[in-house]
Amino acid sequence: MTVMTNQQPAVYFNYVAGEWTESASGEKLESHNPATGELIGYSQKSRVQDIEQSIDSVCDTFRKSDWSCNPKRRYEALLGLAHKMENHIERLARILTMEQGKTMRESRQELAGCIDTLKYFAGAARTVFGRSVQLEPANLGVIVKEPIGIVGIISPWNWPALLMIRELAPALAAGNGVIVKPASLTPAISVEIFKLIDEVPHFPKGIVSIVTGPGKSIGAAMGTSEKIDMISFTGDTSTGKTLMELATSNIKKLALELGGKSPNVLFEDANLDKAIPVIGRSIFISAGQICMAGSRLLVHESIKREVLSRLTRYAENLCVGNGILETTDMGPLVSQNQLDLVEGYCQIGRSEGTIVTGGYRLTGKDYDQGYFFAPTIIDNLTSDCRVVREEIFGPVLAVQTFSDEEEALTLANDTEFGLSAGVWTENLNRAMRLSRGIKAGTVWINTYNKNFPEAEFGGYKQSGLGRTRGVDGLLEYCETKHIHFEVEEQAD
């Protein structure tokens, strides 16, 4: 099943001031393939000194270059990076799969999303519009959008390429200087993309930097730095709360995309032939390690038996294995810690509900080399069960039943999160009522997990602050300034 590549582990450096540099400590972090246990690379175990040097470098380039006031240059730079990624997509997909564990199909999908996002924000760089307001006969207000300044991006390990580019592209399009701190589990794909940035001549050397290392030290240093004007973070809610506290050092702006516990609400008139595979994919894609995973299924009581039967068949027919194989449908979890976490939640589900399928680590033969877990469905759970309420970040679907629309809406909103939701019904009026009533940043109707760079994404409640993608995503990285003109009357 699994494939050992026997490649020499790569060494990845920080990118600071347009140069590839070793960390001050000289220490390295290891990256391992979660499917095979292979050592695939080393990255820099940076210290606070390294991030401070990076911040100083970006500040200096931002001050001296024309980047902030040259939208055409920014357009050419982002478009150039998109073309570079297109030319290297298969190589990058292989690196992403070996480092994170997801299937090659998912890696190609993620990288295609990066390219699309870069192209969209390349165009947006040339359309950062303000407005003018005639205030009085002799007074004119000009409202301009300016870059915030220096942005720190802390990106996650689950979709490490797309969730970095999703923030990097609008931050650069708006004219900011940027420092990226990728997740320590998946630094390779981020640094590989920065190697392509280094080849695009339209990027001023030093306007963008990447520093790898532990979040508790260098991520915290970014949060407290008085030279960083904004932090963009994608990850768990508890870390987001910590960053909010750290950001009070200079009242820096925050953009946070945090946890989710998203429901698919399945009514009795839904098209099950379409819904079942989409709902299954919404929870088992990337082994459930995705913030918008459809991790709760709210199903009408009249169709529950049929739905569970179909979903069980879907889950049990998935080919779980090494993502590098084109026949694999679901890869491993990213680490032993994540595997232990998912196993713990399934123990809770077993004691408080009913395991319909899965609920165990896959073992034997090549499975023993990686962190593989069976696609899992748990039924008969109460609303106060941790499996229902907490983000698991694994291939575990929690099932609840409702009897009418009012109960469905109550269950959908009975969560501290509000990132996304799906509603499945042929009744247009019901779809509109539910989409307005559910407190989530995105509600999909008769589909799920459809994302486009043109359309904003973000969370309600403890799922985050601000919006990414679209016009709002660009404006997140802008300051608004009022320039006021008073015109003197011409003397007679």
Q: What is the pLDDT of residues 27-58, one digit of tens each?
A: 999 999 999 999 999 999 999 999 999 999 99
pLDDT category at 2 given cuts 50, 70, 90 is: very low
The pair of three-digit structure tokens given for residue 375, joined into one six-digit string = 């696609």
Distance CA 245, CA 180 (A): 20
Question: Residue 413 CB: number of other CB atoms within 10 A?
Answer: 16
CA contacts within 13 A on the Cβ side of 55:
25
Specify the pLDDT at position 365.
87
pLDDT category at 490 given cuts 50, 70, 90 is: confident
395-423: average pLDDT: 98
Specify the pLDDT at position 5.
54
Note whether 244 and 83 are within 8 A (CB): no
pLDDT by residue (tens digit) across 151-168? 999 999 999 999 999 999
User: Under CATH, domain 263-445 is a member of which superfamily?
Assistant: Aldehyde Dehydrogenase; Chain A, domain 2 (3.40.309.10)
Note whether 184 and 89 are within 8 A (CB): no
- Is 406 catalytic? The answer is no
Specify the pLDDT at position 272.
98
Distance CA 89, CA 379 (A): 40
| DSSP summary character for residue 218 | I
84-89: average pLDDT: 98
Q: What percent of the chain has pLDDT over 90?
A: 97
Stretch (H or E) spanning 170: helix 162-173
Note whether 468 and 167 are within 8 A (CB): yes
| Active-site entry in 257, 391, 406, 489 | 257
The strand pairing partners of 150, in sequence order, are 177
Q: What is the DSSP string of 113-162?
A: HHHHHHHHHHHHTT----EEEEEETTEEEEEEEEE-SEEEEE--SSSTTH
Q: Domain ranges in the chain?
A: 10-258+463-480, 263-445
Closest CA to 178 of 222, 215, 115: 222
Residues 6 or more apart in contact with residue 371 via CB below 8 angstroms: 34, 101, 332, 333, 334, 335, 336, 338, 339
Q: What is the DSSP string of 220-262?
A: HHHHH-TT--EEEEES-HHHHHHHHHHGGGTT-EEEEE----P
The pair of three-digit structure tokens given for residue 97, joined into one six-digit string = 């799969």
Distance CA 258, CA 458 (A): 9
Q: For residue 280, is pLDDT > 60?
A: yes
Distance CA 102, CA 452 (A): 21
Q: For residue 327, is pLDDT > 90?
A: yes
Give alpha helix (H) positions in 206-364.
Answer: 220-224, 237-246, 272-284, 304-316, 336-352
Specify the pLDDT at position 492.
66
Q: What is the CA radius of gyration of the chain?
A: 24
Note whether 126 and 79 are within 8 A (CB): no
Stretch (H or E) spanning 95: helix 89-100
Give backbone dihedrals phi and psi of 15, rounded to 5 degrees, phi first: -115, 105
Residues 6 or more apart in contact with residue 226 via CB below 8 angstroms: 249, 250
The mean of the pLDDT values for the chain is 96
Closest CA to 257 of 147, 347, 185, 167: 167
Q: What is the DSSP string of 367-417?
A: GGGTT-B--EEEES--TTSHHHHS---SSEEEEEEESSHHHHHHHHH-SSE
179-187: average pLDDT: 97
Closest CA to 99 of 157, 182, 164, 51: 157
10 Å CB burial of residue 68 (0-12, 13-18, 19+) is middle
Distance CA 296, CA 313 (A): 18
- Tell which wins on pLDDT, 281 or 7: 281
Specify the pLDDT at position 1.
44
pLDDT by residue (tens digit) across 95-134? 999 999 999 999 999 999 999 999 999 999 999 999 999 9
Question: Residue 88 CB: number of other CB atoms within 10 A?
Answer: 16
Instruction: Tell me which CATH code domain 10-258+463-480 carries.
Output: 3.40.605.10
The pair of three-digit structure tokens given for residue 90, joined into one six-digit string = 């298969």
pLDDT category at 489 given cuts 50, 70, 90 is: confident
pLDDT by residue (tens digit) across 385-406? 999 999 999 999 999 999 999 9
Strand order in the sheet with 263-266: 354-357, 376-379, 396-402, 296-300, 263-266, 420-424, 442-445
230-258: average pLDDT: 95
Note whether 395 and 376 are within 8 A (CB): yes
366-370: average pLDDT: 94
